[in-house]
Amino acid sequence: MDQTRSESPALRVGVLGCSDIAWRRALPALAADPAVDLVAVASRDEAKARRFAGRFGCEAVTGYRVLVDRTDVDALYVPVPAALHEPWVEAALRAGKHVLCEKPLTVDAPATRRLAVLAASLGLVLLENFMFQFHAQHRVVRELLDQGAIGELRGLQAVFTIPALHPEDIRHRLELGGGCLLDVGGYPIRTAQLFLGPGLRVAGAVAVRDPGSGSGVDVSGAALLASAEGVSAQLTYGMAHGYRSAYELAGSEGRIVLDRAYTPPADHRPVLRLETKGGAEEITLPADDQWAELVRAFAGAVRGERNLDRYTELTIRHAELTGEIQRSAGLG
């Protein structure tokens, strides 16, 4: 273990909301990190809070505001529905808490920028949870690009689609920030940001609304982005599909293909396919736990050992791009 981490006081974390992703992924990662003390989990439903707290060995709290106001908590993880992120993240920041928030940080760009500015003015860490970007496999892809393994980058294709959700899933509720663009669509957008740089613009987008439930949310979509240098990014996303999680980078002299790009299990050894004029090669990479890496990054930033300003910039521009895609696709 890193010596500094082992000697620093544990980061005292509270969880604001009892979501499925908190149960399956975030809380196990927080509870497993020796540099984190999982203090309490809050829900509006007392029974649900007790169930979560019982599994993860922390205190159950009824009501979000009660947890926000506690003085024995340094940071909050916020996995409430997307439309509720803005008020609760702001409340947490104004209470002096660092915040790790599920994506999207908010449902509109001005609110995202406002919260980022607020966090910076208070000297607090605010991190939007696109956990995949902390997985080591993407650094390997970047290194290959920088080494010129496929020549000059010409284009990117990224896809994240999942099977149809239960009709009662909150992602089918428009008033809670539902829809595929704000959920799975964020991963291809962030991939384009990571590899094509900050000058991205939206060249076009389409969306298909849910035809069955009448909820009005988008269940399928695609967008075409372009970098300042004219490199294109073709993005596909949806929540009424077969599962797909991959991206491909095409260059002047080859291509890189990465499957299981966004939700690899912690024990999964990624296989990166590199195709060049000399032939095709499959490179097996070490396993990595992107949730554990996310927690380490967040806790390290709170301790002042890591600078996450780059991710703040990505988050702000990501929100702007999402709004541009919504308008281009007629989502309003």
Q: Point out the residues that are catalytic.
A: 103
Span between the terminal Cα atoms of the chain, in Å = 49
Return the SS3 of 144: helix
Q: Listing from the earlier edge strand, what are the strands of the sheet with 153-161?
A: 201-209, 218-226, 232-238, 153-161, 244-251, 254-259, 271-276, 279-284
Tally of residues, the chain: 332
E strand or H helix that includes residue 247: strand 244-251
Residue 73: both structure tokens together: 């908590």
Q: Tell me the CB-side half-sphere exposure of residue 15, using CA atoms within 13 A.
A: 32
Longest alpha-carbon distance in the chain: 62
Which of 212, 157, 200, 207 is closest to 180 using CA atoms? 207
> Rounded distance, CA 94 to CA 88, Å?
10
